[in-house]
Amino acid sequence: MAQLTYREAVSLSIAQCMRKDEKVLFLGEDVGAAGGVFKATVGLLEEFGSVRVKDTPISEQAILGAAMGASMVGLKPIAEIMFSDFLAVCWDIVANEIAKTRYMSDGQINLPLVIRTANGAGSKFGAQHSQSLENWSMAVPGLKVVAPSCPSDVIGLMTSSVADADPVIFYEHKSLYPMKEEIKDTNLFINLGEANIMHEGSDACIISLGLMAQRSKEAALILKNKHKIKVSVLDLRTLVPLDLQTIKREVKKSGLVFTVEENPRLCGWGSEISSIIVEQLFSELKGPITRITTPHIPLPSADILEDNTIPTTDLIVEKIIKQLKK
């Protein structure tokens, strides 16, 4: 058994994939000699050398262009975009090239590549370095979307992402990098599209992702211990593919649903989940679906303002108690 932080799990999972398959390579800004800006890739250059671990120029277009080309000729690149906000710089390559090549080639060309990126708020980096952008990639056909909430999920989901024949965007939450977890076995594989029930309950159901999954679990424990309210917490893990079977099962248990997301409220992933539930499970609902989100504003950089913008554990508890009292 080993205790690993979220950032250590990133490095370990990449290393395990590279040891198993010589076709796996890793590239990005400062990922080698510096060990990554968040120190999540320390030791990879020393173990695998500069042929398989590439420090690139500061050009997101070049990083993903090189990764796309490598995957087209049979390699399995893992490419890092330092902040998810920077996906805007290279979104044409992601949405129009990487996502569509398999379809436009009638399946003749697969693109087995993983795009890693640091996502979300909590570090007070301001509006251009703190966004939560899972909903961007969820809206693009041809991409798979992954967002682990703990170190063991980082390992299991990275393993399955690298093994997948399709392009995967792998969102790592910056605020989770210090998180620690005891892991018995690091040889993990979690199927894409397999959600995780983090907490059992029958009074209501919380559907969440990434950092919000951890805050939702904290809220569920407070609700249970202080208010005798039993809430289930469903960590989606992946938005594409989506584990509809588990979502439906959890919704049917209570009929009261809360989505907790860091996306801005307008067109966040929770709106799509809510739409699916209303379309397919309307008769199972006992009340309206409650969405707990970040407001539709650019994220502030002042500590107190950011802390009061993204959903907190206390806000989740407050919203659930308020809804259950109606």
Q: For this structure, is 129 an active site residue?
A: yes
Q: Which of 129, 173, 199, 227 is catalytic?
A: 129
CB 23 within 8 A of CB 200: no
Write down the residue that tokens 């951890």 correspond to: 214
- State the virtual CA torsion across 18, 22, 24, 26 in degrees, nearest 10: 70
The torsion region of residue 43 among left (phi > 0), alpha (psi -120 to 50) and beta comes to: left
Instruction: Indicate if the alpha-carbon torsion angle 29, 129, 316, 207 is positive or negative.
Output: negative
At residue 104, φ and ψ (nearest 5 deg) are -70, -20
Instruction: Indicate if the alpha-carbon torsion angle 135, 169, 56, 111 is positive or negative.
Output: negative
**Enzyme catalytic residues:** 129
